Amino acid sequence: MMIRAALPSERTVIGDLRVRAYRDQSLLDASPSYADTLRELGWGAPDEVMAAVDGETVLGTVVYVPWGPRCEAARGPREAEIRAFAVAPEAQRRGVGATLVKAVIERAEREGLDRLVLSTQEIMSGARRLYETHGFTRLPERDWSPVPGVDLLVYVRHLRG
């Protein structure tokens, strides 16, 4: 398995993977229209869609979002955020998620950032365990709700000192 920047030709495959992964966990029930957003996230600069691939098969993906107007949880230029983290249901529990999380942490460290933040849901217990294993801790003062019935928990990974 390799982590690399997603190719423009993989846009549809990655969008479908995200939607399938979120639907499998019933994460689109409260806001079905979020599927359209998932398909499009990260394809504009300076965001980077990262892909975990095995040969030509995309196993998982994450969007690295540097501080800017599209950020939802990051609060300044010393932070970046993770969005649209998804692993294909058939590839889960094979280390794909851990490898993606490590890669995005390394990316933020290379840029010299202080913090990496993300939003997740209470129901995403496996993802929350994965984040906590990689040093993310709760940042409850930034919890938020994009739509009624969707409560997001914010986590932070301190990268320096």
| Cβ–Cβ under 8 Å, residues 61 and 19 | no
Whole-number pLDDT of residue 142: 96
| Cβ–Cβ under 8 Å, residues 50 and 63 | yes
Whole-number pLDDT of residue 53: 98
CA distance 77 to 46: 13
Read off the CATH number of the domain in which 34 is found.
3.40.630.30
* CA–CA–CA angle 6, 147, 19 (5° rounding): 30
**The whole model's pTM is what?**
0.93
Whole-number pLDDT of residue 148: 84
Q: What range does the domain containing 131 cover?
A: 2-158
Nearest CA to 101 among 79, 116, 122, 89? Answer: 116
The pair of structure tokens assigned to 93 is 């529990």
Whole-number pLDDT of residue 24: 92
| Cβ–Cβ under 8 Å, residues 120 and 128 | yes
Number of domains in the chain: 1
pLDDT along the chain (161 residues), means of 10: 96 97 90 91 93 97 95 95 95 95 97 97 91 97 90 95 53
* DSSP-derived pairing of the beta strands 144-147 and 79-87: unpaired
- Give residue for tokens 């249901």: 89
Whole-number pLDDT of residue 161: 53
